[in-house]
Chain A
């Protein structure tokens, strides 16, 4: 066993891990690098969508007064998004947005958790395209909600002109415009992307460095490799925490942005 591992380790190990480790060979056409067609991420996204649709449909096919386990899980996910996010942040108007927030939360949570499920072990969210698209959807949603409520010019005014002395406006208006209407989708996408990206890199570092240490000729360095793998296991649990937290945070921030765009003037 150890012999095999050592032989494996002496092969050209991809250490240290780099950005290239995120560009896996395509599934169709098989093995092609940088393919725009079907990759592991495509499959994972479709899998996540299918699993969520199936889960919510099955859990709610025959709703019972005393919920079964599946129904209870679906209800608590939706109840969490409605009561703890939508109602708490946006208020009573927020119930309208609860379906979107619940979908967003469960989709991000599932795709994040793909990062630590054995044999999948990479999250589609570690490619900027997927978080970026989710951020665009949220961006369009909260701007549309604000424009629908206030009208275009009043919405623009409420977003860029906070109550302040007139002297400060030349400074405030560009700043508020930049932070409220330009920067928000970027940070929203980047936060999720960077967390998943960094998480995958961290797991790669510890898993691969276990093999690198094992390939050493020095016995004492060789003996260190189980500790690297132990660290990889501990950090996998840490990644579970990050996955849940980032799904929550993305949903929370979307709700906060919706709230600021539909808030009435004080």
Chain B
């Protein structure tokens, strides 16, 4: 069987690109919710900021796992 298409080198970059889709959507949702909350209730701006960062970092962790494992399995 002959190869119709082939990729050489590391696929880690493509793997990281795929891994970043989910966290990208997630971080978008987190900030969208925060903006909506502050637009509806401007006085809640300080109240929800802590939870904004909390949600942001928990989602971001997935993308960062992607970076770390991209380098771990790069070879």
B67 contacts A by Cβ under 8 Å = yes
B53 and A252 form a contact (CB under 8 A): yes
Residues A173-230 near B (CB distance < 8 A):
187, 190-191, 193-195, 197-198
Q: Which of B53, B54, B68 contacts A190 (CB 8 A)?
A: B68
A132 contacts B by Cβ under 8 Å = no
A139 contacts B by Cβ under 8 Å = no
A115 vs chain B, min Cβ distance (A): 16
- Residues on A with C-beta less than 8 A from B57 are 191, 249, 252-253
B68 and A193 form a contact (CB under 8 A): yes
Q: Which of A19, A88, A190, A193 contacts B50 (CB 8 A)?
A: A88
B71 and A190 form a contact (CB under 8 A): no
B45 contacts A by Cβ under 8 Å = no
- Residues on A with C-beta less than 8 A from B50 are 88-89, 252
- Residues on B with C-beta less than 8 A from A245 are 53
Residues A233-266 near B (CB distance < 8 A):
245, 248-249, 252-253, 256
B65 contacts A by Cβ under 8 Å = yes
14 contacts between A and B (CB under 8 A): A19-B71, A187-B61, A190-B64, A191-B57, A191-B64, A194-B65, A194-B67, A194-B68, A197-B68, A249-B53, A249-B57, A252-B54, A253-B54, A253-B57
Q: What residues make up the interface of A, taking CB atoms closer than 8 Å to B?
A: 19, 88-89, 187, 190-191, 193-195, 197-198, 245, 248-249, 252-253, 256
Q: What residues make up the interface of B, taking CB atoms closer than 8 Å to A?
A: 50, 53-54, 57, 60-61, 64-65, 67-68, 71
